[in-house]
Structure 1
Amino acid sequence: MFEYFNKPIIITGANASGKTAISLSIAHKIGAEIISADSRQIYKHLSAGTSKPQGRWVNNENPVYIVDMIPYHLVDFIDPKETYNAQRYFYDFNGTLNKIKTKQVIICGGTGFYINSIFNPLDPLPQANEKIRTELKEYADKYGREKLHEKLIEIDPVAAKKIHYNNINRVIRAIEVSIMTSKPYSSLISDNTFKRESYFKAFFVFIKWDKNLLYKRIKERTKNVFDDWVNETKNLILNGYTHDCPGLKSLGYPVIIEYISQSITKDYAIDIITKQSMDYAKRQNTWFNRYPSLKIDINNQKDFDIEKITKDIIEKYESSCNSSSSC
């Protein structure tokens, strides 16, 4: 896949870990383009709640999203009503590679399934069945996410242990596939994460924040964007996007909708979003700990020096290229 390109640099880490800023800094230094691997920033019209990098579309024959003069791919291109998954990401990623004009690529994001899909073959699973999905969504709306998760426990306890009940899209997908194939979803998914040789041809960087620092960072960011997030969500609703469309079911948006309906207070909404974000960050860190990566530990605010981190990553990257002759 990467025959034309130098070894890609992959910047990973939990939400709010500074991946975008670091990726842009490196891109300027080495002349790279960036490909996002973020399951929320793919959506158009969702910016405040997804921390989508601020950019603009350059309208020419091949429109490109530009952030700080750097082409930034696979963001802001999917309608919030559309369902999107790792399989689609894999095909979009390959299509994007054909458009990139530089020899250096940075992959930036915190969605492990997307990153894994690039380097590992995807399991052949049936396409989405809208009838089954609608029935499962209606069941969750009526009885709650935990009750839907109990259905998955009955059908496939192995998958249920790995999928949190709040991750409703994955719960629905697991039940859907199990119903369509008459086999447990877990039996159809290979456990090949990070094991194939091709995976080690990339240079991984894991930005790992101290838990307490990350909590403060997430809460502060949520406070800062909250009003914009509310206005953004109101506009989406006014434009016909319902609470059950995939974009508005992504992290934080259901809480904002509750706040808009005056079911909860602003302070409570901020606390809930911060907790949900921390729960997600914990799962991300668990995932990325399995990478063969350069780990950048941020144990105090002074450690987050973008210039220094950029310099360290580039030096380590060049060293890995020289030692393996693989760049």
Structure 2
Amino acid sequence: MIGGPTAVGKTALAIHLAQERRVRLINADAFQIYRGMDIGTAKPTAAEQAAATHHLIDIKDPSESFTVAQFMDLAKDEIKRAGELGELPVLVGGTGFYLNALRLNLPLGTEAASPARQHWQDFYDEHGQDALWTELNQRDPVSAAKIPAGNARRVIRALEVIENTGRPFSNQKPAIPIYETLVIGLTTDRDILYQRINQRVDAMMTQGLLAEVQRVQLAAGTNKQALAAIGYKEFLPYLAGDGTLADAVALVKRNSRRYAKRQLTYFHNQMSAHWFDLVQHPAEMTQIDELLDGWVHK
């Protein structure tokens, strides 16, 4: 698994590995799965995809929803296919929860919407995340201590399980990993990372990001999931006549920097990664190759 914050070279590393080994590159970015969301998600370009095929990219329309459970099922299929072809599966992306759910084989349960889920979704819409979390804390304080109020989707899921099973969410069967996993984390100094993010957003605007957002908004219809992506949602008020374009761009940069910080925190705390800085120290690519060779041999 190759993870880390945005703008640190994950795609470049993946292509390097693909050119050196028999690998199967599998996307683990929650929004690169959508067709037409190319610029704002920093999706591998046509040239990059020609250099190395990336799987699980462009598999959904913006009007469709997508879940971590669906990702896990599709990723497992790709991993199985890699094994049949004698390829090393390499998952690449910054959506830490996708990677960690697959790495640990987290039990996510059914994704079919139940009346209980709709009930708690309606409760959240009416009363907000703090009241929702309080409901979970009253029913299952162990789970509430592990799930922040800001992760409303996970809180709703926990409450749904409690209501459907009559048992605390914390009593779910423990995860049993089914894969041996090596996690390579990419990072760099915070100031350099933020500068790269700002420059990337400017480049995206030059490449036509605003027009892409308009196309995605038209294609997404009533689906709010695709348009929740950073680099898209910030332009919606501007397109509705509220605020300036400069303000929207500044907001994309700010939100991208904040997201990068959250990504780093997640990977450091949850993923037990081997960290490298290819931005400032490109020669560390040799260390990555040696680490991977030793791990595969073992």
Q: Is the 8 A contact 2:124 2:132 kept in 1?
A: no
Q: Which of residues 214, 229, 234 is equivalent to 2:209?
A: 229
Which amino acid counterpart does residue 232 of structure 1 have in structure 2? E
Name the aligned partner's letter for residue 94 of structure 2.
Answer: G
What is the one-letter code of the residue matched to 1:87?
A
Number of residues paired by the alignment?
A: 291
Structure 2 residue 133 is the aligned partner of structure 1 residue 152: yes
Of 244, 263, 274, 1:294 maps to 274
Q: Distance in 2 between matches of 1:151 and 1:292?
A: 31
Note the alpha carbon deviations across 1:39-67, whole angstroms, 9 max, x for none: 111112211221111238xxxxxxxxx81
Identity %: 27
Residues 246 and 182 (structure 1), Cα distance of their counterparts in 2 relative to 1, 3 Å cut: farther
The alignment's C-alpha RMSD in Å is 3.2
Structure 2 gap ranges (5+):
none
Task: Name the CA shift for 1:277/1:202 in 2 (closer, same or farther; >3 Å).
Answer: same
The reply on whether 1:263 has 2:242 as its aligned counterpart is yes
**Equivalent position amino acid for 2:106 in 1:** L
1:287-323: CA deviation from partner (whole Å, max 9, x where unpaired): 222434321036xx543x3xx34332112222344xx
Q: Distance in 2 between matches of 1:180 and 1:250?
A: 31
What TM-score do the two structures reach when normalised by structure 2? 0.81
Q: Distance in 2 between matches of 1:142 and 1:282?
A: 30
Query: TM-score, with normalisation over the residues of structure 1?
Result: 0.75
Pair 1:27–1:171, CA change in 2 (3 A): same
Give 1 or 2: higher helix fraction: 2
Indicate the structure with greater strand content: 1
Query: Aligned with 1:275: secondary structure?
Result: helix
Matched, 1:16 2:4: no
Give the aligned residue type for 2:212: E
Counterpart for residue 67 of structure 2: 85
Distance in 2 (CA, whole Å) between partners of 1:27 and 1:69 is 8
Q: Is the 8 A contact 2:72 2:102 kept in 1?
A: yes
Q: Does residue 319 in structure 1 map to residue 298 in structure 2?
A: no
One-letter amino acid of the counterpart of residue 212, structure 1: D
* Partners of 2:293 and 2:241 in 1: CA distance: 54
Q: Deviations over 1:152-197 (max 9, x none)?
A: 233346656655666554455445545545555455484x5xx85x
How has the CA–CA distance of structure 1 residues 124 and 231 changed in structure 2, closer, same or farther, with 3 Å as cutoff? closer
Q: What amino acid maps onto 1:153 in structure 2?
A: T
Q: Which residue of 2 aligns with 1:34?
A: 25
SS in 1 for 2:111: coil
Match of 2:88 in 1: 104
Matched position secondary structure for 2:183 = strand
Q: Contact 1:89 / 1:114 at 8 angstroms: preserved in 2? A: yes
- 1:241 corresponds in structure 2 to 221
Matches of 2:125 and 2:36, distance apart in 1: 24
Structure 1 counterpart of 2:205, one-letter code:
F
CA contact (8 A) 2:133 2:149 kept: no
